[in-house]
Amino acid sequence: MKHHVQWIALTAIGGLWWGTLFSGPAAAQTANSPYVLSVFAKSAAGYSQPDSIAVGPDSVFVGFQNHAAKDGSDGKSSTIIQYSLTGAVMRTFSVQGHNDGLRLVGEDSLWALQNEDAHANLVIIDLKSGGQQVFFPAAPHGGGYDDLRVFHDQIFMTASNPNLDSNGVNHFPALVRVRVVGSGLVLDPVLMGNAAAIDIPTGAPVTLNLTDPDSLSVDQRGNLVLDSQADAELVLIRHPFTEDQTVGRISITTAAGPTTVDDTAFVPEGRSFMLFSDVNANTVYRLDAKFGFEPGTAYSTSDTAGIVGVLNLDNGVLAPIATGFGSTRGMVFVSDDREHRDDGRERRDH
């Protein structure tokens, strides 16, 4: 049955280069050659715990959680910082609750999701006026919402922290489509937590049990990619919310065994650099590849292992290329072309 999932499977393109370690901003953080690690931004007075990262036309947005409770019960707020592509602070926004999802919708609308465990809210920030709209999405699964992604002009969200039945099974939607209708939200189920799928490495049919739907990304094959974090699984969804929807599952492992993955990003065409956050170190790091990143390759962060790795989507093996972090979280790739335009200044290629 493997021929049925060839459209899903991606091979990590290009071999890993192992050798001399390049020192990061502290002795414990290292990146394997030809990768080079540096600091993009750090927490400052009034904001801490960077997690989600979103890319705009000429800037980067980072969500700082400020130790707010994941269910919003403590009344604290998160801080969204807009940075230039060289890491200079441009603007700050405050949103009520614990931010764990951030995405630009169009060029002028920033969507921020708060409280992934319960009592979720969605704040839509108008980047032109700075105004905010606040929505409270229904949560029949009993938890909150964690991440969102624009895909083929539709917006999808992951339904996190679901209630499980007595056998530990999630019978609720793990992925929904969201639409703003008037002053409210309409949520349409896309993928159930116990949906049927194909195991990508073996081609065997499996029944999912997504107990921890988390981040969302899109690969270069046109699949919507859902990370079920605590389950150490990625779910690849072809043609979501259509009659042709097809689902593949891959389990994530390192040399030490199964590992959780917080975020996965795919290298775009053209020159780019990577940004990723370490919530424990209060730092957003930049990772460059001396000879360029290979387009289409998957990279992932592991919150529990504290690593960044190349992910082979044929077999689910995550091979570390940067290590020594506290808890790596949000990850994005940023086009070098954007960097050269940053702040209206010309920058030399390096």
Q: Per-residue pLDDT for 152 more than 50?
A: yes
What is the spatial distance between Cα 165 and Cα 151, in angstroms, rounded to a whole number? 31
Q: Per-residue pLDDT for 10 more than 70?
A: no
In this prediction, residues 315-331 reach a mean pLDDT of 97
Q: Per-residue pLDDT for 338 more than 80?
A: no
Q: Note the pLDDT tens digit of each residue in 202-214.
A: 999 999 999 999 9
Q: How confident is the model at residue 45 (pLDDT cuts 50, 70, 90)?
A: very high
Q: Note the pLDDT tens digit of each residue in 215-233.
A: 999 998 999 999 999 999 9
Give the pair of three-digit tokens for residue 38: 């540096």
Q: Per-residue pLDDT for 11 more than 90?
A: no
Q: Per-residue pLDDT for 313 more than 80?
A: yes
Average pLDDT, whole number, for the chain? Answer: 90
What is the spatial distance between Cα 20 and Cα 14, in angstroms, rounded to a whole number? 18
Instruction: Determine whether 255 is exposed, middle or buried from the number of CB atoms within 10 Å of its CB (0-12, 13-18, 19+).
Output: exposed
Q: Note the pLDDT tens digit of each residue in 64-114.
A: 999 999 999 999 999 999 999 999 999 999 999 999 999 999 989 999 999
The CA-based diameter of the chain, rounded to the nearest angstrom, is 60
β pairing state of 196-199 and 205-207:
antiparallel
Q: Note the pLDDT tens digit of each residue in 117-148.
A: 999 999 999 999 999 999 999 999 999 999 99
Q: What percent of the chain has pLDDT over 90?
A: 86
- Of residues 254 and 22, more confidence is placed in 254
Residue 238: predicted pLDDT: 97
Q: What percent of the chain has pLDDT over 70?
A: 88
Residue 8: predicted pLDDT: 35
Q: How confident is the model at residue 336 (pLDDT cuts 50, 70, 90)?
A: confident
- Of residues 61 and 342, more confidence is placed in 61
In this prediction, residues 326-347 reach a mean pLDDT of 70
- Domains along the chain with CATH numbers: 2-342 (2.120.10.80)
Q: Per-residue pLDDT for 41 more than 50?
A: yes
Residue 28: predicted pLDDT: 85
